Chain A
Amino acid sequence: MMNLLSTIQWEQLFDWQLAKEAAPYILKNGLWNTMWISVVTMTLGLLVALVVAIARMSPYRLLRYPARVYISIIRGTPLLVQLFILYFGLPVIGITLEPITVAIIGLTASVGGYASETIRGAILSIPRGQWEAATSLNMSYRQTMRRVILPQATRVALPSLMNSFLSLVKDTSLLTVITVPEMLYYAKIVGGRSYDYMTVYLIVALYYWVICTVLNALQERLEKHYNRFTNT
């Protein structure tokens, strides 16, 4: 064991000289793409999720079944395979999409599928009395949803949706395989040039960790804000 440790060349594990150049390079070129892709697909995904969740609870089969099939496909297949099908598969039938288009469609669809189940669960957790009180005031289904149910469901769904967002930020690293230039993509470029992958991947790992830690802190503050009417 000691022998093994002593054979490791520690200075090759992390090359400070390289890090000084690579770190700003990866940040400058990749961070922006990682972040805007995450934010945009999360936003679009939530809209899709809300529609799918409501369709999934609809009394009409014509809405309910497609929603179920969609959710089942998204949750039952790996995101990487979905991206491959969109990027490498579709050209076979004559549909060629830009990498960034594939990224937006693929990640939005993914968030839409997972978050819809979170949102549905949150909506179903709101007591029947809330629906009845709103209906009794003569609110329509839409008004009840918008004014009474969703504000309360948001609070219920928030921790879980924040986790989805953290996963999404990390999942953008998969986009590197379809040549979307996000953080990992630039790290690979530098790594390839310098033959020092360890240093650049450690840098990328650190970046993801910092982003997620910041988001986590944000989540705690948001939850506090939303809990103001349940904790006195």
Chain B
Amino acid sequence: MIEIKNLRKSFGKLDVLHDIDLTVEQGEVIAIIGPSGSGKSTFLRCLNSLETPTAGSIKIGAHTLKFNDKKPKEREIRSLRSQTAMVFQSFNLFPHLTALENVMEGLVTVQRISRETASTQAKGLLEKVGLAQKQDAFPIQLSGGQQQRVAIARALAMNPSVLLLDEPTSALDPELVGGVLAIIRELSKDKTQTMMIVTHEMNFAREVADRVIFMDEGKIIEMGTSDEVFGHPTHARTKQFLDQLYVGIEKNLGWGL
């Protein structure tokens, strides 16, 4: 369903992604982990066409786009992007619109669906993320967790082939993380919505991901089922990363030696 070949991205002289190859099946949930600056966000942003890759190709559904020195056409970018939707770390809800209007916006403005139909659909999605009763609230009146759930509903409204989530819980207070993860877990259950999630929540990744990708320095270092990557990492750098993480967690919990 998704085929990424030799994907490369540089910012000027800085090479951020090196020849990424990845195939994702319909309904798969992929977790992407890796140290800060390894290019995880850049990778997702390339898939959402928020960044234009330097080289390689991306195929999502029936849409393929090859990248080279020539700038791709706006129309081609848009048709590829229409296959994806993004959930941002900092939610990025539209502050001047209510929760319902946020979810409706893409439907009305981009897909040109009538306001009534869009409103019905949007209400259904807000219900799905457990916020039906908050439809008239402005983002400022919602907690971070609620905002992120509205943002998930807004992304789902675009009916994307693949839902991209970039550290959806990193900006949240600890007590709000669970609610957002529960929504994503729920989405992953019926195995229809393809998702790629960048996350630092290792337990969550282990639980929901069909496959886990470990990225470092712009490369996919290791990829496998969550048991493979978390239980028996083969690559030294993966081990090192996971060990550091566990040490960090133990320290935080006061288990340090």
A residues near B (Cβ < 8 Å) are 127, 129-130, 132-139, 143, 147-148, 151-152, 155, 228-232
Contacts and interface: CB of A to CB of B under 8 A. Distances in A.
A232 B95 CA distance: 12
A143 B95 contact: no
B94 interface: yes
Nearest to A154: B96
Contact of B90 (A129, A139, A155, A231): A129
9 contacts: A130-B94, A132-B92, A136-B155, A137-B106, A137-B110, A138-B82, A152-B94, A229-B96, A231-B140
B109 interface: yes
B81 A133 contact: no
Contacts of B106: 137-139
Interface residues of B, number: 25
Contacts of B26: none
A137 B86 CA distance: 8
Contacts of B88: 129, 132-133, 136
B94 A136 contact: no
Contacts of A230: 95, 140
Given A137-B105, A151-B96, A229 B138 contact: yes
Nearest to B74: A140
Given A138-B78, A138-B82, A130 B109 contact: no
Contacts of A133: 86, 88, 92-94
Contact of A148 (B94, B155, B158): B94
Contacts of B96: 151-152, 155, 229
A185 B48 CA distance: 62
7 closest Cβ contacts across the A-B interface?
Answer: A133-B92, A137-B106, A129-B92, A229-B138, A136-B86, A151-B96, A138-B110
B138 A132 contact: no
